[in-house]
Amino acid sequence: MRDAEPAGPEGATKVVVLGSHGGQQITQLTGSHLRCGTSVLIDAGGELIVVDCGCGAVHRLAEVGYDANQVTTVLVTHCHADHVAELGSMVSFAWSSGRNGADPDRRLEVWGPTGIADYEAGTKLALRRSIADQEGPLAQVPTFDAFATWHEVVPPREPVTIIDRPGLEVRTVRVQHGGMPSLGFRIVTDDLDLAISGDRGAGRDGFAAFASGADAIIHEVIDRPLVRGVLEAQGAAPSFVDHLVDDHTDAPDVGRVATEAGVPVLVLYHLIPANPGIDDQRWIDLVRPTFAGEIVVSRDLQVLDLQGAR
Ligand SMILES: [Zn+2]
Ligand SMILES: [Zn+2]
């Protein structure tokens, strides 16, 4: 479904899946390039939050009708490339497109786990000449540093609130994703309470309790038996196969998380594999035995109607 139309009443929080693909091997399975890398947009009455910036996120944002400069907050679950490949582009395009008649006082906040400060430093180094040219001869204001504020969070074992202002509260908690510092998020607006998993292996962290009572969970998913079989047949390195299958959540376990959290809606994203030959019903059949609520197999540019569960 390529549906870029707003769901729900005017002013309601809108959630759009910008990219639904998981992993860093876009061509690993034939046709998987039809999905972009992991990214979710939440439009909370003009507060524009982007969770992760995988490959294609900047263009997907434009496709759904927004300018990068409208983004007020970027939340990063972890620094694997399939989640941050376009983070630098998102921030720099947000900064640059501020020249196009947008509010000159607009600023951007980036929140991420341990490692995000390195990403910030690397981005500024990689873009050093561009930034210098824009701030110098091109006289762009505010400066890149003044425009974007980066916050690095050591993944907390107990939930902490990182944003608390009218219309938006964001809490975060550590999720277990191998050795990678990783965050899950709970995003609460005036009309929506949403939990997002990022990447995690099931059962070794407190995400289900963290997500308890939310209107919906957006959760990563892997078809463990299928992926292990395909990768082993391709001769993939055992350490890589183990990372994929151990540090992501098998479909039946995703259902268990949603059941334990007591949510009415479960949205699957970060699909591994993301082969279009695997139809939605296969994912639903894998999750259904462990979750009785609504299951949504997300697609790029899909607007999620999550208020309907209220
Ligand atoms: Zn990932
Ligand atoms: Zn990851």
- Cα–ligand 2 centroid distance for 82 (angstroms): 7
pLDDT at 172 over 70: yes
How far is the centre of ligand 2, averaged over its atoms, from the C-alpha of 91 (Å)?
A: 21
What is the identity of the amino acid at 283?
W
Residue 21 CA to ligand 1 center (angstroms) comes to: 8
Q: Please list all protein residues whose beta carbon sits less than 5 angstroms from ligand 1, which is an ion.
A: 22, 80, 82, 199
Q: What is the 3-state secondary structure (H, E, C) of 93-160?
A: HHHHHHHCCCCCCCCEEEEEECCHHHHHHHHHHHCHHHHHHHHCCCCCCCCHHHHEEEEEECCCCCCE
CA distance 213 to 199: 20
Please count the other Cβ atoms lying within 10 Å of the Cβ belonging to residue 229. 12
Residues in the chain: 310
Pairwise pLDDT comparison (118 vs 141), residue with the higher score: 118
Give the span between the Cα atoms of 60 and 63, in whole angstroms. 5
Task: Compute the distance from residue 248 Cα to the ligand 1 centre, in Å.
Answer: 8
pLDDT top residue among 61 and 240: 61
* Average pLDDT, integer, range 58-74: 95
Judge whether residue 208 has pLDDT over 90.
Answer: yes
Residue 47 CA to ligand 2 center (angstroms) comes to 26
Map out the domains of the chain with their CATH numbers. Answer: 14-303 (3.60.15.10)
* 308 pLDDT above the threshold of 70: no
Confidence at residue 4, expressed as pLDDT on a 0 to 100 scale: 44
Helix (H, G, I), strand (E, B) or coil at 175: coil
Ligand 2 geometric centre to CA of 24 (Å): 9
Q: What spacing in Å lies between the alpha carbon of 279 and ligand 2's midpoint?
A: 23
51 and 196 in contact (C-beta within 8 Å)?
A: yes
Q: Is the peptide bond before 159 cis (omega within 30 degrees of 0)?
A: no
CA–centroid distance, residue 276 to ligand 2 (Å): 21
Strand, helix or coil for residue 55:
coil
User: Distance from the CA of 38 to the center of ligand 1, in angstroms?
Assistant: 7
H or E segment to which residue 185 belongs: strand 183-189
* Res 2: pLDDT: 34
pLDDT-derived band at 6 (thresholds 50, 70, 90) equals: very low
Whole-number Å distance between alpha carbons of 48 and 40: 11
